[in-house]
């Protein structure tokens, strides 16, 4: 079976987050997404402005729980706050639960569920760290609408996404730079192509403007780009 690097065997147009992907997720994604851990630090820093002593915080598509567990530790002086990580893949949640036990954290709960269907309670902060890009385009707006509705007034939605460029020339430039980045991380040309082929029809990113339009249609007015590197962008939207 073709290999996408880091021991991940994948098929054409069939990328998923089960099995070996879950086991090797953190080393793989941290090499594949520029400034991945810096994004975690940024989320934690921004949380200072939104997480109160008794806040409820969600991470949608939490994968192995790396970010939501860091966020809980970062906010350890707010012990009454509660953190919930949701992911559709059981294998991911198994890794997250193991990590939670190792860190002895008791105010983080993980649930196996579809984030599009999951009912959110009233919340001060919602995080989607490279998650919405994997939601079907036909369902993205419904998800963002639900997030806006669940947020308290003044609450924050942090959405990090791979983004498409606004025209073909820029897209060619961004794709070339990103491919060079992956080669510099040690992936072979074959692994880069294999990963790209596996993501066909699975990874469905929008442009910067497309993401902003999603947020605005949901009701967000105050929107700011807080991170940007080539084809990766982080948006902060405040209700």
Secondary structure (H, E, C), 131-183: CHHHCCHHHHHHHHHHHHHHEEEEEEEEEEEECECCCHHHHHHHHHHHHHHHH
Give the pLDDT of residue 13. 57
Chain centre to alpha carbon of residue 233: 11
Tell the residue number behind the tokens 């806040």, with chain if given: 55
- Angle, helices 25-32 vs 36-47, to 10°: value is 90
Alpha-carbon span 146 to 132, nearest angstrom: 13
pLDDT-derived band at 15, boundaries 50, 70, 90: low
**What is the pairing mode between strands 232-238 and 151-162?**
antiparallel
Instruction: Please indicate, yes or no, if residue 166 is contained in any of the structural domains.
Output: yes
Q: Is 141 part of a structural domain of the chain?
A: no
201 pLDDT band, cuts 50/70/90, is confident
Cα separation, 39 vs 55, in Å, equals: 21
Gap between the Cα atoms of 184 and 31, Å rounded = 10
Confidence class for position 3, pLDDT limits 50, 70, 90: low
In-domain check, residue 136: no
Pairing of strands 108-112, 232-238: unpaired
Task: Report yes or no on 147 lying in a domain.
Answer: no
* CATH classification of the domain holding 75: 3.40.50.150
**H or E element, residue 102:** helix 90-103
Which residues are paired to 164 by β-bridges? 207
208, 233 Cβ separation under 8 angstroms: yes
The reported pLDDT for the residue numbered 20 is 66
Q: What pTM value is reported for the model?
A: 0.93
Instruction: Residue 159: give the domain boundaries.
Output: 19-120+154-238
The confidence score (pLDDT) of residue 191 equals 86
d(C-alpha 63, C-alpha 167), whole Å: 31
CA 163 to chain CA mean position, Å: 13
Count of structural domains, the chain: 1
Tens digit of each residue's pLDDT (9 = 90 or more) over 114-163: 999 999 999 999 999 999 999 999 999 999 999 999 999 999 999 999 99
Residue at 127 is within a domain:
no
Within a domain: residue 13? no
What is the rounded end-to-end Cα distance, in angstroms, of the chain?
A: 46
Q: Which two tokens stand for residue 52?
A: 């109160």
2 in any annotated domain? no
The stretch 9-28 carries a mean pLDDT of: 70
Q: How far apart are alpha carbons 150 and 144 in whole angstroms? A: 10
pLDDT band at residue 4 under the 50/70/90 scheme: low
The pair of three-digit structure tokens given for residue 159, joined into one six-digit string: 């959405």
pLDDT(6) > 60: no
Residue 140 lies in a domain: no
3-state secondary structure at position 74: helix
């Amino acid at each position: 079976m073709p290999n996408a690097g880091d021991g991940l065997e994948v098929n054409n147009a069939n990328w998923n987050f089960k099995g070996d992907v879950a086991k090797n997720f953190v080393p793989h994604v941290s090499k594949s997404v520029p400034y991945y851990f810096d994004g975690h630090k940024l989320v934690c820093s921004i949380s200072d402005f939104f997480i109160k002593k008794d806040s409820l915080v969600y991470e949608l598509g939490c994968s192995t729980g790396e970010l939501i567990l860091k966020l809980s530790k970062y906010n350890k002086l707010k012990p009454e706050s509660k953190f919930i990580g949701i992911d559709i893949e059981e294998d991911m949640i198994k890794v997250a639960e193991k990590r939670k036990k190792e860190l002895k954290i008791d105010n983080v709960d993980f649930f196996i569920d579809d984030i599009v269907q999951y009912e959110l309670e009233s919340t001060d902060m919602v995080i989607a760290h490279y998650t919405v890009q994997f939601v079907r385009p036909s369902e993205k707006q419904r998800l963002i609408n639900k997030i806006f509705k669940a947020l308290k007034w003044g609450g924050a939605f942090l959405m990090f996404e791979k983004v498409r460029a606004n025209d073909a020339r820029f897209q060619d430039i961004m794709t070339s730079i990103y491919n060079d980045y992956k080669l510099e991380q040690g992936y072979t040309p074959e692994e880069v192509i294999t990963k790209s082929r596996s993501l066909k029809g699975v990874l469905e990113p929008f442009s910067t403007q497309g993401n902003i339009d999603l947020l605005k249609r949901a009701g967000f007015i105050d929107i700011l780009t807080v991170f940007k590197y080539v084809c990766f962008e982080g948006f902060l939207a405040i209700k």
